[in-house]
């Protein structure tokens, strides 16, 4: 019963009045003879997907009819999976996931099953009775853009359900808010007291009448006729084999399946058969592929249509099943109806499942709200329960359903004006009515290895995959090896694009942020989406680690062989993901690339990455420390040897080059003590390599050569001079001497002062604070500078001074004040406003005139 | 309908409908209710099938526009243990709904406490006829019952208008009465008044008064709250203005047809200024003044009366704009700016394609 409403545009008018009654009588006749003849060879049980009442009556029909086989509307290549679904270890909500590739790209389709879905009830009942069950619908239905939402389509599409003019009129006349409420009143609540035959008759009549509001043309376009042709063929096959066939399909299709659809099968048969036939073959071959070897990644293709598809059993969540969460294929309040079904299907069935579920939920709601320190009393719950019953009576329902429960909570729990803040009880109730369960698939040959691997690792890391909602986990990376393991898994999941986990805070070695933190905080949430993403990744490998490795390798193959910086970056990444084996191979590649790399910047990146790995080698689990050190040393030397080439570097890259020089300086200077622990060997610049080692000397020499180069850019000049001064190679005065050269130079050179200072300050801020020369010169320059030039220089100059911390800035201010012999606090005062000055001048003139009038002399 | 009242109470205005509904009543009724909950709902939101009174069909009209589910909840609340609190912006027909409910359930909407800043506990519970009290001492005859007292005694609804205007201590006198359904009168010998079945309280409160006399949480707990929102549909608002203005004009003795085009202009203007969004989806300034449906009705009635008495004709757009000024520029000067911008932006744009809006735009001169 995909579309219970009328198509808005192409509707055939229903016969009015008496003719309509005639029509209903005709349908009753068809129902008794062709649909629900318990003595006949085939019984068609019309359902609405995910309806507890349908499941309830379906089970009764099983008992009455005692079928030999049950046929279910569902993707036929899923038939081999029925045994997995029927396995008691499989817990709903679950789904069949059909991923396919056709001419238009990749797509996927879900077939969700909840405990109370009639399809699932049929599968389980068939297993309990030891009779076969089969899916009989087409797998592939072509691309219907309107059926997809977020690239996620459903086999049980009811998206056209709400919003048509017909349903709207019906709802208004019946005084209900929506189709779902109408359905609940008529079938879920009202249907429970009826016999199975009566119930099925109602569903059949209702669905068939809504089917009649569609033209055959529309049905064909939607693919319904093709599907029905396919299902009819399957039913025929089953009839030939078995005596009593029970067919469970959406009520919308029943009329088409019994061939009563006078106009449409005739009109559409030719095409439908043709289309169905062609697609049937596709489906068949897929079925074979799935059935034969689910583990090997063999997918079959159909020559005619070019559709490749595979089907898997997969977990599902209540959250995804709930339409209120924005999934088109869902239905509202799944958790609520699940509770109803549990009571309906219990060994001792509940005589009034709706009342007891409402009581249960009201009590739970009060409890949870009190846990959040909301003021909710038992009297609110009592009042709400009374309201629920009152509303049910007023609305002519035998019991209060989901909508009465919502109304009751709205009236009794929400205090004061309804605002976002006051609506908390309703929000909470809706969450309870959605539920947070995640299903489970029994272990089977159909399980996808990567999913199993992920689950096993997640279980080992004690991640919660049993309930939906975002879970939070804080990992102590340094202290707990188990937490490091968890971090690697979460990083892998993030890298594979599974949407499973998100890092909220923690050190980020790759983009060099927050590296001072020692804990990682993650939020994560498991859903069928995650599972689907994992399955998509299974083409890369059978385990999470393999897939991540294959994907990194794929990325790396795109990197040119001599870009050692990028390769080192991937190496770091591989280590963060815990891919040690890959890391071993990556070392080789980085080493090779290093020797071919001629770019100073890339070499500095490599050095930087290697240095970070070295610093965190325990955390990242590096085993071959010696090799890493050697590689790092090699990178250092290679970078140093390229310093000479920095002259003539593109101005955009100069700041990066300065960073590179800074890195080299830090690694060469033992006094900086950056992240090196005393007593460790093999590190460049560690204690053993004090001033005067060959490496250090090479660095000095290269810098000296760079500084001596003609036309060196001011920024690099500043940086090189600052490093050499810090290394004790040059006199500190050299910095101010070189600065003066710019400041006193030609107007063009003056403007380069700021760039030079940026180079200096990025390495040696103290140059400005040691002695007054530089400060005095700069101050003199600013006094001299024409206003226009000052404005041109200002932005770069400001940038140069951003290297200073606020206390340093105040110290500089003090020095400047000293220079001019004014107290430092004067600098803090705001300058006199120009308007004030003008005003004072006017006032002065005015007073003078006034004095003159009064013949007074100003003193 | 009698002409000797400016505004007849709901039970008089809809007398025939109520009688017809009572006549056909078969459903279960809460004790002392004149109608079943389903009929009360039908009376307020109307139904397609007419009721029959003395062999004649009586149409059950819709009297309240808006959220129908809210009405159902309100009716069920009144049959229960808690009072009903209607909250909302000024002019959202809270009072009208409360009148309709009490007229339908108890047959009278006049058993009302009109809350003010000066309302005391005496006015809520009971007071004394002092001449009699001094003469004969405390007795039931000397007691002056309040509407609440009457409601408890007779098992009918008591309406409490503008409860948040009353001082908190006066409001709190309701707390124990609502939970215990008992009023103690210590001055009398057997001074206990037990509430008869059918008694309940419908209170109305204005969101704009929030914080003036905030209700205690103890009192809040004894009420179910229903928030009434302004109507968000121009057509529906126009229909309400039309119906109510027509009614008021008849009762003021003004014999003039309601001009639908003018009503629609008015409804559109009010709705857009209230929500701050034009029907084209642009954002505009919202005046501070209350732009409720009730205000729109009064603007229309004022304009129609001015036109009727001074020009002897139907309502003119000139008068409409003049009267609108008084409504919108109530709270602050800035509001006039909002109206001015509305004319120079929105109305002007529509004037290019629509004759009526063009005529409307020509009256901008009155805004200055």
CA A237 to chain centre: 44
Pairing of strands B83-88, B200-206: parallel
Cβ neighbours, 10 Å, residue A609: 27
Residue A394 to residue B76, Cβ atoms within 8 A: yes
Q: Which helix (H) or strand (E) holds B202?
A: strand B200-206
Residue A808's DSSP bridge partners are none
Burial status of residue A708 (CB atoms within 10 A of its CB: 0-12, 13-18, 19 or more) = exposed
Question: Residue B73: its chain A contacts at CB < 8 A?
Answer: 387, 391, 407, 410-411
Report which of A365, A135, A358 is spatially closest to residue A235, judged by C-alpha positions. Answer: A135
The answer to whether A418 contacts B227, with C-beta atoms less than 8 Å apart, is yes
Q: Are A27 and A200 in contact (CB under 8 A)?
A: no
Strand partners, B84: B202, B224
User: Which chain B residues are within 8 Å of A379, Cβ to Cβ?
Assistant: 221
ipTM of the complex: 0.83
Q: How far is CA A771 from the centre of its chain?
A: 56
Element (H, E) at B161: strand B157-161
Q: In the numeric block, which tokens belong to residue B169?
A: 């201590």
Which tens digit of pLDDT belongs to each residue from A163-216? Answer: 466 677 788 888 888 888 888 888 888 888 889 889 999 888 888 887 877 778
| Structure tokens that stand for B5 in this block | 């009242």
Q: Which of B75, B80, B226 is nearest residue A383 as measured by Cβ atoms? A: B80
Residues of A with CB under 8 A from a CB of B: 173, 175, 177, 375, 377, 379-380, 383, 386-387, 390-391, 393-396, 407, 410-412, 414-418
pLDDT in tens, A684-717: 444 344 445 667 788 888 888 888 887 788 888 8
The whole-angstrom separation of Cα B116 and Cα A488 is: 68
Distance of alpha carbon A436 from alpha carbon A754, whole angstroms: 60
| pLDDT tens-digit readout, A262-306 | 544 433 333 333 333 333 333 333 333 333 333 333 334 343 456
Give the residues across from A246 on adjacent strands: A43, A70
Q: What are phi and psi of A69, to 5 degrees?
A: -155, 150
Mutate to test the interface with B, among A375, A387, A396 (most CBs of B within 10 A): A387
Q: Where are the beta strands (DSSP E) in chain B?
A: 51-53, 56-58, 83-88, 112-114, 126-128, 143-145, 157-161, 182-184, 192-194, 200-206, 223-228
Give pLDDT, residue A144. Answer: 46
Residue of A nearest to B89 (CA): A417
DSSP classification of residue A94: E
Cα dist. A44→A130, A188, A192 in Å? 20, 20, 19
- The pair of three-digit structure tokens given for residue A192, joined into one six-digit string: 């429970």
**Beta B192-194 vs A42-47: how paired, if at all?**
unpaired
**Which residues, in sequence order, are CB contacts of A165 under 8 Å at separation 6+?**
A6, A8
Q: What is the pLDDT of residue A481?
A: 83
**CA gap A286, A638 in Å, rounded:** 56
In this prediction, residue A605 carries a pLDDT of 87
Strand, coil or helix: A267: helix
- Inter-chain contact A411–B79, Cβ cutoff 8 Å? no
Q: How many CA atoms lie within 13 A of B185 on its CB side?
A: 22
Candidate from A16-20, B203-207, B277-281 with smallest mean pLDDT: A16-20
Q: Which of A130-134, A642-646, A793-797, B272-276 has the lowest average pLDDT?
A: A642-646
Q: Which of A195-199, A229-233, A812-816, B58-62 has the lowest mean pLDDT?
A: A812-816
Find how far residue A615's CA is from the centre of its chain: 32
More confident residue, A536 or A501: A501
Asked if pLDDT for residue A162 goes beyond 60, the answer is: no
Residue A175 tokens, joined: 């005084």
Positive/negative CA dihedral, B99, B105, B108, B112? negative
Mean of per-residue pLDDT scores for chain A: 78
**Residue A280's CB: how many other CB atoms inside 10 A?**
19
Omega cis (within 30) before A93? yes
Residue A515 pLDDT exceeds 70: yes
pLDDT of residue A323: 61
Query: pLDDT per residue over B78-123, tens digit each?
Result: 998 899 999 988 878 888 899 999 999 999 999 999 988 888 988 8
Q: Which long-range contacts (CB under 8 A, 24 or more apart) does A771-776 make?
A: A771/A732, A771/A736, A772/A815, A772/A819, A773/A733, A773/A736, A774/A735, A774/A736, A774/A739, A775/A812, A775/A815, A775/A816, A775/A819, A776/A819
Task: Check pLDDT > 90 for residue A138.
Answer: no
Please name the residue that has the structure tokens 């009520």: A251
Token pair belonging to B142: 């000397």
Q: Please give the helix or strand (H or E) that residue B57 lies within, else none.
A: strand B56-58
What digits encode the pLDDT tens for the residues A714-759?
A: 888 888 888 888 888 888 888 888 888 888 888 788 888 888 888 8
DSSP letter at B363? G
C-beta separation of A775 from A815 below 8 A:
yes
Q: Which residues of A794-809 are buried (b: 16+ CB within 10 A; e: fewer)?
A: eebbeebbebbeeeee
Q: Which two tokens stand for residue A71?
A: 């046929």
Q: How much is the pLDDT for A17? A: 58
Taking the C-alpha atoms of residue A7 and residue B321, their distance in angstroms, rounded to an integer, is 46
In this complex, do B225 and A383 lie within 8 Å of one another by their Cβ atoms? no
pLDDT value of position B76: 93
pLDDT tens, position by position, A557-568: 888 877 888 888
pLDDT tens-digit series, residues A442-491:
877 777 778 888 888 888 888 888 777 788 888 888 888 888 888 888 88
Tokens representing A723?
Answer: 């490093």
For residue range B169-215, what is the model confidence (pLDDT) as tens digits?
A: 888 889 989 988 999 998 888 888 999 999 999 999 988 776 667 88
The nearest CA of chain A is from the CA of B343 a distance in Å of 32
Per-residue DSSP letter, B141: G
Give the pair of three-digit tokens for residue A214. 């569609």
| Mean pLDDT, residues B44-64 taken together | 88
State residue A156's pLDDT score.
56
Q: What is the pLDDT of residue A155?
A: 59
- Measured in degrees and rounded to the nearest 5, phi and psi for residue A43 equal -115, 125
How many percent of chain A have pLDDT more than 70? 84
Q: Is residue A654 scored above 60 in pLDDT?
A: yes
């Amino acid at each position: 019963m995909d579309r219970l409403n009328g198509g808005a545009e192409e509707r055939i008018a229903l016969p009015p009045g008496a003719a309509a009654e005639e029509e209903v009588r005709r349908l009753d006749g068809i129902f008794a003879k062709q649909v629900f003849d318990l003595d006949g060879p085939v019984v068609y049980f019309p359902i609405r997907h995910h309806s507890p009442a349908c499941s309830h009556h379906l089970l009764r029909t099983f008992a009455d009819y005692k079928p030999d086989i049950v046929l279910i509307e569902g993707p036929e290549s899923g038939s081999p999976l029925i045994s997995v679904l029927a396995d008691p270890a499989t817990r709903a909500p679950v789904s069949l996931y059909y991923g396919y590739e056709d001419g238009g790209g990749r797509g996927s389709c879900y077939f969700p099953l909840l405990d109370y879905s009639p399809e699932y009830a049929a599968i389980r009942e068939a297993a309990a009775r030891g009779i076969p069950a089969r899916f009989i619908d087409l797998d592939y239905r072509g691309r219907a853009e309107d059926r997809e939402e977020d690239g996620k389509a459903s086999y049980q599409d009811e998206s056209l359900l709400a919003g048509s003019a017909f349903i709207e009129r019906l709802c208004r006349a019946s005084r209900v808010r929506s189709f779902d409420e109408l359905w609940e009143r008529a079938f879920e609540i009202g249907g429970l007291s009826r016999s199975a035959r009566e119930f099925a008759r109602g569903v059949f009549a209702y669905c068939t009448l809504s089917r009649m509001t569609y033209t055959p043309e529309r049905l064909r376009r939607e693919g319904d006729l093709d599907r029905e042709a396919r299902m009819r063929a399957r039913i025929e096959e089953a009839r030939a084999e078995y005596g009593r066939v029970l067919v469970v399909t959406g009520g919308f299709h029943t009329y088409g399946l019994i061939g009563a659809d006078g106009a449409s099968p005739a009109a559409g048969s030719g095409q439908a058969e043709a289309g169905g036939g062609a697609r049937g073959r596709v489906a068949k071959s897929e079925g074979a592929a799935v059935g034969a070897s689910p583990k090997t990644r063999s997918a079959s293709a159909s020559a005619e249509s070019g559709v490749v598809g595979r089907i898997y059993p997969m977990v599902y969540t209540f959250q995804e099943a709930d339409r209120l969460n924005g999934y088109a294929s869902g239905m509202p309040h799944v958790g609520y109806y699940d509770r109803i079904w549990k009571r309906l299907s219990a060994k001792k069935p509940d005589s009034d499942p709706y009342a007891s579920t409402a009581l249960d939920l009201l009590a739970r709601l009060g409890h949870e709200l009190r846990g959040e320190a909301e003021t909710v009393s038992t009297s609110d719950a009592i009042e709400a329960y009374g309201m629920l019953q009152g509303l049910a009576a007023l609305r002519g329902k035998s019991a209060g359903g989901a909508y009465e429960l919502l109304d009751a909570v709205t009236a009794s729990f929400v205090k004061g004006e309804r605002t976002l803040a006051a609506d908390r009880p309703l929000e909470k109730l809706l969450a309870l009515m959605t539920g947070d369960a995640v299903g489970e698939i029994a272990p089977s040959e159909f399980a996808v290895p990567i999913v199993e691997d992920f689950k096993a690792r997640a279980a080992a890391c004690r991640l919660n995959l049993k309930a939906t909602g975002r879970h939070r986990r804080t990992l102590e990376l340094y202290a707990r090896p188990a937490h490091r393991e968890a971090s690697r898994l979460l990083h892998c999941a993030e890298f594979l694009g599974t949407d499973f986990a998100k890092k909220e805070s923690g050190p980020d070695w790759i983009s060099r942020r927050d590296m001072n933190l020692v804990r990682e905080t993650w939020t994560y949430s498991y859903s069928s989406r995650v599972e689907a993403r994992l399955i998509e990744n299974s083409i890369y490998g059978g385990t999470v680690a393999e897939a991540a490795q294959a994907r990194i390798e794929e990325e790396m193959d795109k990197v040119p062989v001599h870009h050692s910086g990028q390769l080192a970056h991937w190496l770091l990444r591989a280590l963060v993901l815990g891919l040690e084996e890959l890391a071993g191979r990556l070392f080789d590649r980085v080493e090779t690339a290093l020797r071919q790399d001629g770019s100073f910047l890339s070499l500095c990146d490599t050095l930087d990455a290697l240095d970070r790995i070295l610093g965190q080698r325990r955390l990242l689990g590096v085993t071959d420390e010696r090799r890493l050190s050697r590689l790092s040393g090699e990178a250092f030397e290679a970078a140093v040897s390229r310093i000479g080439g920095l002259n003539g570097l593109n101005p955009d890259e100069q700041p990066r080059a300065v960073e590179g020089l800074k890195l080299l300086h830090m690694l060469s200077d033992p006094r900086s003590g950056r992240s090196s622990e005393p007593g460790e060997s093999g590190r460049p610049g560690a204690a053993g390599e004090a001033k005067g080692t060959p490496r250090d000397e090479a660095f000095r020499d290269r810098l000296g050569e760079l500084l001596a180069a003609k036309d060196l850019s001011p920024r690099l000049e500043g940086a090189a001079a600052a490093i050499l001064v810090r290394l004790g190679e040059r006199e500190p005065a050299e910095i101010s001497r070189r600065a003066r050269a710019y400041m006193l130079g030609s107007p063009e050179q003056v403007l380069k002062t700021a760039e030079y200072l940026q180079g200096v300050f990025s390495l040696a801020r103290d140059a400005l604070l040691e002695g007054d020369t530089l400060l005095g010169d700069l101050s003199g320059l600013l006094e001299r500078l024409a206003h226009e030039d000052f404005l041109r220089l200002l932005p770069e100059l400001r940038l140069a001074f951003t290297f200073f911390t606020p206390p340093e800035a105040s110290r500089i201010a003090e020095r400047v004040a000293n220079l001019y012999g004014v107290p430092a606090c004067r600098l803090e005062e705001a300058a006199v406003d120009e308007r004030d000055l003008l005003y004072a001048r006017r006032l002065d003139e005015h007073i003078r005139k006034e004095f003159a009038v009064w013949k007074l002399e100003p003193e | 309908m009698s002409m000797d009242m400016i505004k007849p109470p709901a039970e008089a205005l809809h007398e025939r409908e109520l009688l017809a509904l009572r006549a056909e009543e078969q459903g279960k009724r809460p004790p002392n209710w004149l109608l079943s909950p389903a009929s009360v709902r039908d009376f307020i939101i109307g139904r397609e099938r007419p009721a029959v009174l003395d062999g004649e069909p009586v149409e059950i009209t819709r009297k309240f526009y808006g959220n129908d589910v809210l009405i159902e909840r309100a009716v069920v609340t009144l049959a229960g243990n808690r009072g009903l609190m209607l909250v909302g912006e000024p002019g959202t027909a809270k009072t009208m709904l409360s009148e309709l409910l009490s007229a339908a359930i108890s047959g009278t909407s006049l058993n009302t406490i009109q809350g003010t800043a000066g309302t005391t506990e005496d006015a809520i519970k009971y007071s004394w006829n002092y001449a009699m009290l001094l003469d004969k001492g405390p007795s039931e005859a000397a007691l002056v019952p309040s509407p609440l007292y009457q409601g408890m005694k007779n098992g009918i609804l008591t309406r409490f208008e503008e409860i948040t205007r009353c001082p908190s201590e006066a409001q709190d006198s309701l707390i124990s009465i609502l939970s215990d359904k008992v009023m103690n009168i210590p001055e009398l010998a057997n001074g206990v008044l037990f509430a008869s079945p059918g008694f309940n309280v419908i209170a109305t409160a204005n969101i704009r008064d929030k914080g003036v006399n905030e209700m205690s949480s103890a009192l809040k707990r004894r009420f179910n709250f229903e928030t009434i929102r302004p109507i968000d549909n121009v057509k529906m608002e126009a229909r309400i203005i039309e119906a109510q203005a027509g009614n008021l004009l008849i009762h003021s003795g003004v014999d003039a047809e309601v001009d639908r085009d003018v009503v629609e202009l008015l409804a559109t203007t009010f709705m857009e200024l209230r929500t701050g969004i034009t029907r084209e989806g642009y954002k505009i300034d919202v005046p501070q003044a209350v732009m409720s449906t009730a205000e729109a009705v009064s603007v229309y009635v004022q304009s129609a009366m001015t036109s009727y008495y001074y020009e002897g004709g139907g309502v003119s757009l000139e008068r409409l704009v003049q009267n609108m000024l008084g409504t919108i520029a109530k709270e602050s000067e800035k509001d006039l700016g909002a109206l001015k911008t509305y004319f120079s932006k929105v109305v002007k744009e529509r004037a290019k394609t629509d004759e009526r809006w063009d005529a409307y735009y020509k009256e901008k001169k009155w805004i200055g």
